[in-house]
């Protein structure tokens, strides 16, 4: 832990919102929130506004969540910075005051932003750092959640809100010999705070997802040689990162009221101009300039502002997929490497398309070698490096950019137990069962922010998070106003939501592709689409209607 983090921890140990504690009893709160990233910070602010006593439990030594842990070289957001922040719903003042330096902010700047928000909103005093939740059990008799920490202490609360992020449980494949490597091993999602010295080193990077696409160009600049082990190539779109122009930033600030509203009602939480049209209704000559314009603009415009049916129409998707393959072949000098980097086994956007800033160019360097880990899989990790069926690559460091046990990994790791001892992982053994992705039957007063079956990762995250948090806070406010103590979805409401979620998923091309969105990256994980793909705006409307009907679908009862 850094000295800065130690200081933070000491300061935070004095929580301000006075818990009710008797001798030998657990500290009692109205609400416990797990996680101090974007979600946990806004949830804390919202519940404090309602006058609740709240404790945030954060396993890290500081705020930031994703941005606290993911400190690998090149880490930055893939949503444009001006939309990757809290809206005026958190604070108009912060929105006005904060200025981003780049089109896509890098990790240190996003972390600084979250620390700024934390201090500005005076949130730190209710956050307990280095507090890893190991158990959370619902006691129906007391209508309370008892929460146990790794240090043996316990706390309890009426409401338990998980704000643990979608990508917080790292996944390191169980290669034989993984623990025998004599050099340095790093997972991008748990990067050392003091950094990793890769200068002049021989480095193996395993994985080619959005993380590796950011890390490879930066590591290649320092390392003696980099071997990239690619199992599946992706459709990487140019990010075209650049310093943020002051006049552009000023215009966005002036337009924020409209832009946020547009983002909230959009498909993916971004205020882009989406034209309802299919690529197949245009001739190749008509499509080309549309593709070229989006390619030149950079960012998710390629997926969101060209044609609107890529996820439901394979023929339409084929046109954009072929366009991107052509661009990749153009950018990479060695034709064989370019061909290896061109994805052919899945349609565009059925895996999360990474944004690249120098990824393809990195393969034009003499010190970067692409290896086909699909054709020649990694067989084992040895004390010297990585061994495939054909060769052993002797390296000084291995970087695992191998992703996460997304969306359920961290939740299951917290030991959540509901009514009658029901464990969350048992209830969801065949896949998540939720009502709106926010609640699940058998777990009264448990609320999940950006959980499975809500838009979550299918959205620019802050927009999805604000909607989730405001809905949960609205429900708690409603319960207090009506002297209701217990909220739990009715079986029928939950069944209907799961069915709707599955129907929407089945109407898309997404289930065909092996992706972490489908749970396919973790052996044994139920294969289902984890995020809700019906759109951020439509989801918001559904949730609003539920609230307007007195939280229809939830059984709300006095304690």
The contact set with ligand N01 (CB under 6 A) reads 77-78, 167, 173, 206-212, 214, 229, 231-232, 352, 373, 378, 401-404, 457, 516, 521
Least separation, in Å, of the C-beta of 374 and ligand N01? Answer: 7
Are 87 and 261 contacting, i.e. CB atoms less than 8 angstroms apart? no
CB of 237 to ligand N01, least distance (A): 12
HSE on the CB side for 499, CA within 13 Å? 6
Name all contacts of 189-196 with Cβ < 8 Å and 24+ positions apart.
Answer: 189/69, 189/70, 189/403, 189/404, 190/69, 191/69, 191/70, 191/71, 191/72, 191/75, 192/71, 193/1, 193/2, 193/5, 193/71, 194/2, 195/71, 196/397
Judged by CB, which is closer to ligand N01: 19, or 209? Answer: 209
Nearer to ligand N01, 189 or 338 (CB): 189
Give the DSSP per-residue string, 127-181. EESS--EEEEEEETTTTEEEEEETTS-EEEEEEEEE---SS-SB-----TTTTT-
Instruction: Write out the H or E segment, with its range, that includes residue 536.
Output: helix 536-548
Q: In terms of CB distance, is 225 or 231 closer to ligand N01?
A: 231
The least distance separating ligand N01 from the CB of residue 532, rounded to whole angstroms, comes to 15
Which C-beta is closer to ligand N01: that of 36 or that of 212? 212
Residue closer to ligand N01, measured from CB, 174 or 549:
174
Minimum distance, C-beta of residue 446 to ligand N01, in the bound complex (Å): 25
Q: Taking the complex as a whole, how short is the minimal distance between the CB of residue 403 and ligand N01, in angstroms?
A: 3
**In 3-state terms, what secondary structure has residue 106?**
strand
Question: Least CB distance from residue 236 to ligand N01, whole Å?
Answer: 11
Cα separation, 236 vs 136, in Å, equals 40
Least separation in angstroms between CB 19 and ligand N01: 34
Q: Minimum Å distance from CB 266 to ligand N01?
A: 18
User: What's the rounded Cα separation, in Å, for the pair 95 and 86?
Assistant: 7
Comparison of 46 and 241: residue with beta carbon closer to ligand N01: 241
421 exposed, middle or buried (CB, 10 Å; 0-12, 13-18, 19+)? Answer: exposed
Residue 76 contacts by C-beta under 8 Å, 6 or more apart in sequence? 102, 104, 105, 106, 107, 110, 214, 241
Question: Which residue's CB is nearer to ligand N01, number 457 or number 476?
Answer: 457
């Amino acid at each position: 832990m850094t000295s800065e983090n130690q200081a933070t921890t000491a300061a935070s140990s004095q929580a301000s919102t006075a818990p009710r504690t008797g001798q030998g009893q657990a500290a009692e709160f109205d609400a416990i929130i797990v996680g101090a990233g974007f979600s946990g910070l806004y949830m804390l602010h919202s519940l404090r506004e309602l006058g609740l006593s709240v404790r945030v439990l954060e396993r890290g030594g500081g705020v930031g969540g994703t941005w606290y842990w993911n400190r690998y070289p090149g880490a930055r957001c893939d949503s444009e910075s001006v939309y990757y922040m809290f809206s005026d719903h958190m604070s108009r003042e912060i929105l006005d005051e904060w200025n981003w330096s780049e089109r896509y902010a890098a990790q240190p700047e996003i972390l600084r932003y979250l620390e700024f928000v934390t201090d500005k909103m005076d949130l730190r005093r209710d956050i307990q750092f280095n507090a890893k939740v190991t158990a959370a059990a619902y006691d129906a008799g007391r209508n309370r959640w008892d929460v146990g920490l790794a240090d043996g202490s316990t706390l309890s609360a009426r409401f338990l809100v998980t704000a643990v992020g979608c990508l917080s449980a790292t996944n390191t494949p169980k290669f034989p010999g993984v623990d025998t490597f004599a050099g340095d091993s790093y997972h991008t999602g748990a990067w050392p705070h003091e950094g990793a010295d890769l200068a002049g080193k021989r480095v193996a990077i395993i994985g080619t997802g959005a993380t590796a696409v950011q890390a490879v160009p930066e590591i290649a600049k320092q390392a003696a040689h980099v071997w990239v082990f690619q199992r599946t190539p992706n459709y990487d779109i140019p990010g075209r990162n650049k310093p943020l122009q002051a006049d552009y930033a000023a215009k966005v600030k002036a337009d924020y009221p409209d832009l946020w509203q547009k983002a909230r009602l959009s498909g993916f939480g971004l205020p882009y101009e989406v034209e309802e049209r299919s690529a197949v209704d245009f001739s190749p000559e008509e499509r080309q300039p549309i593709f070229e314009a989006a390619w030149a603009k950079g960012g998710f415009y390629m997926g969101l502002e060209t044609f609107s049916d890529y996820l439901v129409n394979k023929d339409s998707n084929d046109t954009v997929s072929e366009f991107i393959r052509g661009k990749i072949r153009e950018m990479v000098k060695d034709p064989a490497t370019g061909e290896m980097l061109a994805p052919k086994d899945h349609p565009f956007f059925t895996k999360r398309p990474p944004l690249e800033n120098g990824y393809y160019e990195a393969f034009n360097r003499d010190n970067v070698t692409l290896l086909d880990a699909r054709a020649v899989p990694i067989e084992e990790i040895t004390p010297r490096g990585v061994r495939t069926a054909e060769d052993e690559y002797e390296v000084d460091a291995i970087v695992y950019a191998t992703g996460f046990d997304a969306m359920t990994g961290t939740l299951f790791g917290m030991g959540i137990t509901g009514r009658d001892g029901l464990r969350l992982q048992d209830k969801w053994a065949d896949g998540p069962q939720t009502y709106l992705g926010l609640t699940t039957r058998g777990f009264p007063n448990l609320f999940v922010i950006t959980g499975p079956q809500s838009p979550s990762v299918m959205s620019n995250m802050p927009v999805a998070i604000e909607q989730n948090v405001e809905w949960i806070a609205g429900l708690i406010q409603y319960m207090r106003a009506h002297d209701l103590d217990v909220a739990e979805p009715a079986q029928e409401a939950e069944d209907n939501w799961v069915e709707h979620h599955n129907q929407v998923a089945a109407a898309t091309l997404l289930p065909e592709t092996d992706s972490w969105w489908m749970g396919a990256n973790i052996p044994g994980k139920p294969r289902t689409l984890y995020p809700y793909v019906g759109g951020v705006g439509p989801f918001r409307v559904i949730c609003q209607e539920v609230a307007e009907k007195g939280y229809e679908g939830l059984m709300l009862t006095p304690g």
